[in-house]
Structure 1
Amino acid sequence: MPWVVPSASGTRQMHILLIGAGGHGRAVLETLRDAGWPPPAGVLDDNPASAGLSGIPLLGPLAAAEALRQQGLEAAHVALGDNLRRQALGEWLASLGYALPVIRHPSAVVAGSARIGDGSVLLPRVVVGAAAEVGRHAILNTGCIVEHDSRLEDAVHIAPGAVLGGGVRIGATALVGLGAALKPGVAVGARAVVGVGAAVISDVAPGLCVGGTPAVPLR
């Protein structure tokens, strides 16, 4: 199987290996197709009952990634919603020598001064503002907005419809839930969880789960 194909511009486009055949894997696969990527080389999943992803080969469990790299497969993406596991597997793949390209839906709007880290994915209608910085292995989910000068550390997940005002800071592996709104300048600590529809008007400590309007700590 050819892992690399030429593009019209003469640059190389890589057949990417996907990790994870669940719901997020399906979303990433559709994004790749919409963005005109070559068909993925396949998907790996540790679930023995997994049916894989439609239209691409199921190549076995995650441990097969090492052999596939030795066979010449060059790029991979971890399509898992679990932030900690996505980060750990992404760094493991990088240690094997895989490239971890950014996957961006063509409807996403990203400012020229914004920076997106390796292994991150931008799903449909995402907006990333001027001078925003997004770390490695992040999920910017459908329709979320990351405004100017915001800083997102590694392996965060900004859920569909969430809005981050200018200068917001999000710590590593934090989750901002569906439809949440964060006041400009607030900070959300590492591993924290912002609940669905929460209105965050003050800083959230690391590891804390908050929800409501305005957001308060939850059990």
Structure 2
Amino acid sequence: MSQSAASSLEKKLASFDPNALGDSAGGLYGLPFTVDEAQVVVVPVPWEVTVSYRGGTAQGPEAIREASLQVDLYEPDIPEAWRMGLAMEDEDEKVAEESRNLRTLAADYIGWLEAGQPADKAQNFATVPAQVTERGKVLLDYLKQKTGAYLDAGKGVVLLGGDHSTPLGYMHALAERHQEFGILQIDAHCDLRPAYEGFQYSHASIMYNALQLPQVKKLVQVGIRDLCQQEAELVEHSGGAW
């Protein structure tokens, strides 16, 4: 951080009132920090291409930003935690637009699957899985680069989706910088399905994809209430390693 930026940050720390009403002109929680000034950066990912029940998860990051203004900053265990700086990037509208376009395509394809794959419509959907998978890989690479740059700058990173598929690029960035790490997943579902509904980067495949990284040594799942036979067999054959 430059001297002028450090001076600007000191002024913000001195003038900010953590007891005041959340400032809607500020960032997450109404905090005044820029991404450059923050020690922790939140990366919003408005992506929900492969959701198989209801849409709306792409609006999650913005909804959380708005709701954060109603949350008090005081944390008894770390009373001045806000001073470390927390900032949320602006959403990338290109990501949001591509999600909207691909979501329509994927939803129609899923509807075709649920209808029993009528032969007269098969040609309409022949390329959809490959197209969605290709763009999912592009998103993975984009987020790997983005989150990796923040990690290399010494910042903490939070990735906020969107559907469950979104963290994979961040996991790849971590894998390039750590010999090993574990994942704590709090979820109703295992998300251990390979290429669910034909989509390699499906929301239902995020943990299966994460486990393909050799640096991921353990996966701890909490709150699981629903899984398929294939997932159950995968867990059983893990020998408790996951």
Select the structure that is richer in strand: 1
TM-score, with structure 1 as normaliser: 0.31
TM-score, with structure 2 as normaliser: 0.29
Bigger relative contact order, structure 1 or 2, given CA contacts below 8 A and separation 6+? 2
